[in-house]
Structure formats: structure tokens, C-alpha cells
Amino acid sequence: MLERFAEAGLSVNKEMAKEIVKRKDAVPCIADMLKDERYWREIGDGWFAIHSIFLLSIIRTREAFDVFKWILRNKADDLEDWLTEDVPSLLFNFGKEYFDEIKELALDKDIDVFARLSAASAICAMGVT
């Protein structure tokens, strides 16, 4: 199912997305696919990676959060404008139980500065809610 989702490119089938987030095997499959450069550039014109960050934020499990962190640590540049525009709210959506780990991302000088700023924005949003 994720293959079909990836190949669809920009056009997201809402029902398929709803089915994906319900599946217990979704996160490991997403993680495996994101380790393949073709899903960042070629297959579906690279939209799978962008759609994946939204799916992971909806799934909200520990495993999903770990994959999201991997993306921020290893593929932040590939997120382009999505990094500053959407990642803060997606991190916020994981919930306050991840506050300390999001804070660690914000303080980690080894990752992309915009990934750090996105994490800091999520922390600020958590502080006012």
C-alpha cells in the first residue's frame, strides 16, 4: 500500500492515508523507504518523504517519533521549505511527552540550524498551551 501511496506523488488519497496510519507495520515500512534515496527524489517526484512526515506526526508513537528525529538529523536539507513551515507544528503534534527530546533537538549543534529552529518553535508552542 505504501508503494502505491509513494507512486501517487503529490496527489494524496485521503482514504489510503487513513488506512496507512492504522497499520501496525506502517512506521517500519516508512522508515525503510525513507532510507532509499529514490523516495526522496524520483518515485512520485519525491513527495513520499514530505507526506511521510505528516503521517508520522499523525501516528504519534515512539517509533514514529524516532523516525521523525532521524529525518531531522539526516535529511533536514531535503525537507526544504517544509522544514520551517510545517515541521514545528508536526513536532508539536507529537505531544508534550516528547518535550525533552524535542528540546535536545533544538540544542543539538550537530544538526541543521533550521531543524533546530523548528524544534525550538515547537517547544515555544508547547510552553504557551
C-alpha–C-alpha distance, residues 19 and 16, integer Å: 5
Q: What is the pTM of this model?
A: 0.94
pLDDT in tens, 38-58: 999 999 999 999 999 999 999
DSSP reduced 3-state for 25: coil
Neighbour count for residue 85 (Cβ, 10 Å): 11
pLDDT in tens, 82-109: 999 999 999 999 999 999 999 999 999 9
Torsion, CA 18, CA 22, CA 27, CA 33, rounded to 10? -40
- How many residues in the chain? 129
